[in-house]
C-alpha cells in the first residue's frame, strides 16, 4: 500500500539515488533529491568508458565483495539483471550483450541512460535540488531534518543515503556520506580503492609502457594464489593496468592494507604448456641458429619487451647467437614467459579508481529493506555500503538493485 503522505529525501543523485527516487515516487511517496554536483548522474556518464555498462548477464554473488558479501544477495535477487534490462527497455534503452556478458545500451552512449533516468524522474514529479551538498542529518520527532551547505533546510519522514564512495572524486564521490552515516551511529569499514591500476617498482617500466598482451594474472601472498583472471594486460609508466588487473586490484589493495607483501604473477604465454613452449622455443632456435637471441623472438613477443624480458631472465649478453644459449638460460626465459613476478607496491589513487571497497558496515542494515537497524527511517543505496563488485557491470547492478529496494521500502513501510 502506498503512503502518499510520506516525504522521502534522497541524498545523492547517482545511479542508486536516481533508481531509489523513481521507485519511491512510483510507490506513491513525495520525493526530493539532493545532489551536490551541478547536475545529477555525472558519474553514470563515465561508466563503461562513456558507454555505460548497465549490468551483466552473469550475475553471481562470487563477483561481489565486502566483509559480508552475501548481504547483497537479497537485493540482487529481488531486482535482478533481467529486471534491470526490462526496466531500461521500458524507459527506451535498447540493449546489447558483449564479451564477458557485459550489457550496454545499443546507442553506445552513457548519456542516453542518464537522459531517460532524468526524464522519468521529471515525469514522476521528483523535486531535484542540485549544488545542495548535505552537511547534517538530524533525527527529529516524526522524521529527519536535513541541512545543506547552502543553508537550505528540509524535512523528511524517511532519508535514503546514496552518496557513493570515494572513487573518482572529480565526479563528486568524496566520501561525504560516510560522515553523515557515522554521526547517525553507523560504523565504517575503512574504504580503499578498487578497480584501479597497480603500481610496481621495476626500473624498466618506462621502456615497456604502452605494451599490451593477452595473458593471465594472479595475486600471490605468502606463496598462495588469492585471485586469478585473464584478458588484455597493459604495462604503464607506473605499473600495470587492463581489465584483469582491475579485477585483481581489490585483492591486492586489501592485502597491502594489511601490510603484507603482495606479488603479481604474469603469464604471457597461456596457450601452450611448459613442455610445448620449451619445444617451440627450441624449434625457433634450431630453424635460425645464426640469429641473435634478442632478434630470435621478433614475431613471437613484442620486440620492445624482448630485451627487458631477457635481462629479467638473467641473460647478460642478449645479442649472442641462439646456438650459444644454454639449457639453464632457456629455462629461465621459459619461466619469465609463463611466471613473471612483480612486487606490488601500491595502487593508483582515488582519482583513478572506478569503485570503492569498504564503506558503511552492512551488518547494521536490513538486507530485505536497506533500512538502518540503528536509525529507523534511514535507508542506504549503492556504493556507500561495504559492497563492491568486479569490473563488468556488477557495480551498477548493485546500484540499481539496492536503489530499487531502498526506494520501494522507504515508500511502503
Whether 159 and 9 have beta carbons less than 8 Å apart is answered as yes
Domain range for 186: 7-192+357-412
Same structural domain, 47 and 97: yes
Distance CA 175, CA 167 (A): 8
CATH number at residue 336: 1.10.8.50
The answer to the question of residue 332 being in a domain is yes
Whether residue 293 is found in the same domain as residue 376: no
Examine residue 204 and state whether it is found in any structural domain, yes or no: yes
| Angstrom distance (rounded) from CA 365 to CA 372 | 5
Q: What CATH number should be reported for the domain holding residue 48? A: 3.50.50.60
Structural domain contains residue 2 = no
**CA geometry: angle at 267 spanning 265 and 271, to 5°?**
155
E-only strand ranges, 180-299: 188-194, 198-200, 212-221, 224-235, 239-241, 262-267
Residue 352 counted as domain residue:
no
Task: Compute the distance between CA of residue 68 and CA of residue 56 in angstroms, rounded to an integer.
Answer: 21
Spatial distance between the Cα atoms of 107 and 246, rounded to a whole number of angstroms? 25
- Do 73 and 186 lie in one domain? The reply is yes
Burial class (CB in 10 A: 0-12, 13-18, 19+), 230: middle
| 119 part of a folded domain | yes
Identify whether the C-beta of residue 262 lies closer than 8 Å to the C-beta of residue 255. yes
On whether both 42 and 181 belong to a single domain, the answer is: yes
Determine the 3-state secondary structure of 363 from DSSP: helix
Kindly state whether residues 187 and 283 are assigned to the same domain: no
**pLDDT, one tens digit for every residue, the chain (413 residues):** 345 679 999 999 999 999 999 999 999 999 999 999 999 999 999 998 899 999 999 999 999 999 999 999 999 999 999 999 999 999 999 999 999 899 999 999 999 999 999 999 999 999 999 999 999 999 999 999 999 999 999 999 999 999 999 998 888 888 999 999 999 999 999 999 999 999 999 999 999 999 999 999 999 999 999 999 999 999 999 999 999 999 999 999 999 999 999 999 999 999 999 999 999 999 999 999 999 999 999 999 999 999 999 999 999 999 999 999 999 999 999 999 999 999 999 999 999 999 999 999 999 999 999 999 999 999 999 999 999 999 999 999 999 999 999 999 999 98
Domain boundary among 294, 317, 347: 347
**Which residues, 6+ apart, have CB-to-CB distance to 294 below 8 Å?**
306, 307, 310, 318, 319
* pLDDT on residue 300: 96
Contact 412, 396 (CB under 8 A): no
**Phi/psi at 366 (5° precision):** -80, 115
**The dihedral sign for the CA sequence 194, 195, 196, 198:** positive
Same domain flag for 301 and 397:
no
Task: Give the SS3 label for residue 60.
Answer: coil
Cell numbers of 324, please? Answer: 650459444
Q: Which of 172, 267, 159, 253 is nearest to 213 (CA)?
A: 267
For residue 106, the Cα-to-chain-centroid distance in whole angstroms is: 22
Q: 323 and 217, same structural domain?
A: yes
Cβ neighbours of residue 39 closer than 8 Å, sequence gap 6 or more: 130
Position 279 in a domain: yes
Instruction: Choose the final residue of a domain: 347, 371, 398.
Output: 347
In terms of domains, do 335 and 245 share one?
Answer: yes
pLDDT at 4: 61
Same structural domain, 157 and 253: no
Residue 254 lies in a domain: yes
HSE, CB side, 13 Å, CA atoms: give it for residue 362.
Answer: 26
Distance CA 52, CA 15 (A): 11
- DSSP classification of residue 62: G
Domain closes at, from 313, 347, 381: 347
DSSP code at position 197:
P
- The predicted pLDDT at position 1 comes to 39
Confirm whether 1 is domain-assigned: no
pLDDT of residue 2: 43
- What distance in Å separates the CA atoms of residue 370 and residue 376, rounded to the nearest whole number? 11
Do 118 and 51 share a structural domain?
yes
Looking at the structure, tell me whether residues 175 and 213 fall in a common domain: no
Residue matched to cell numbers 627450441? 282
The x, y and z cell numbers of residue 197, run together, are: 591500476
How many domains does one find in the chain? 2
Whether residue 207 is found in the same domain as residue 139: no
Amino acid at each position: 500500500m502506498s503512503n502518499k503522505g510520506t516525504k522521502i529525501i534522497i541524498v545523492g543523485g547517482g545511479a542508486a539515488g536516481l533508481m531509489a527516487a523513481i521507485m519511491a515516487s512510483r510507490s506513491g511517496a513525495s520525493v526530493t533529491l539532493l545532489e551536490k554536483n551541478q547536475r545529477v548522474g555525472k558519474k553514470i556518464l563515465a561508466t563503461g568508458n562513456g558507454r555505460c555498462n548497465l549490468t551483466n548477464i552473469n550475475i553471481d554473488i562470487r563477483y561481489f565483495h565486502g566483509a559480508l558479501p552475501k548481504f547483497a544477495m537479497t537485493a540482487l535477487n529481488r531486482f535482478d539483471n533481467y529486471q534491470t534490462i526490462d526496466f531500461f527497455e521500458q524507459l527506451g534503452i535498447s540493449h546489447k550483450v558483449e564479451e564477458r556478458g557485459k550489457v550496454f545500451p545499443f546507442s553506445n552512449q552513457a548519456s542516453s541512460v542518464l537522459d531517460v533516468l532524468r526524464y522519468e524522474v521529471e515525469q514522476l514529479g521528483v523535486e531535484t535540488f542540485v549544488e545542495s551538498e548535505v552537511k547534517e542529518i538530524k533525527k527529529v520527532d516524526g522524521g529527519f531534518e536535513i541541512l545543506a551547505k547552502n543553508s537550505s533546510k528540509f524535512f523528511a519522514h524517511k532519508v535514503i543515503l546514496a552518496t557513493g564512495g570515494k572513487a573518482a572524486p572529480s565526479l563528486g564521490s568524496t566520501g561525504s556520506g560516510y560522515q553523515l552515516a557515522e554521526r547517525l551511529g553507523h560504523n565504517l569499514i575503512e574504504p580503499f580503492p578498487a578497480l584501479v591500476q597497480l603500481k610496481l617498482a621495476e626500473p624498466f617500466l618506462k621502456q615497456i609502457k604502452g605494451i599490451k598482451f593477452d595473458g593471465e594474472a594472479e595475486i600471490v601472498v605468502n606463496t598462495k594464489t588469492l585471485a586469478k583472471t585473464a584478458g588484455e594486460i597493459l604495462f604503464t609508466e607506473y605499473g600495470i593496468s587492463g581489465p584483469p588487473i582491475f579485477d585483481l586490484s581489490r585483492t591486492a589493495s586489501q592485502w597491502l592494507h594489511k601490510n603484507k607483501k603482495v606479488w603479481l604473477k604474469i603469464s604471457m604465454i597461456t596457450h601452450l604448456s611448459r613442455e610445448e613452449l620449451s619445444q617451440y622455443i627450441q624449434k625457433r632456435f634450431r630453424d635460425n641458429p645464426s640469429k641473435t637471441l634478442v632478434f630470435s623472438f621478433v614475431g613471437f613477443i613484442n620486440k620492445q619487451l624482448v630485451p627487458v624480458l631477457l635481462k629479467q631472465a638473467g641473460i647478460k649478453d642478449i645479442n649472442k647467437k641462439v646456438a650459444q644459449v644454454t639449457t639453464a638460460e632457456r629455462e629461465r626465459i621459459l619461466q619469465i614467459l609463463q611466471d613473471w613476478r612483480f612486487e606490488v607496491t601500491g595502487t593508483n589513487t582515488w582519482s583513478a579508481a572506478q569503485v570503492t571497497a569498504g564503506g558503511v558496515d552492512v551488518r547494521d542494515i536490513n538486507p530485505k529493506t536497506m533500512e538502518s537497524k540503528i536509525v529507523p527511517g534511514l535507508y542506504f543505496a549503492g556504493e556507500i555500503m561495504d559492497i563492491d563488485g568486479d569490473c563488468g557491470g556488477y557495480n551498477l547492478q548493485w546500484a540499481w538493485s539496492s536503489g530499487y529496494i531502498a526506494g520501494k521500502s522507504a515508500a511502503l513501510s
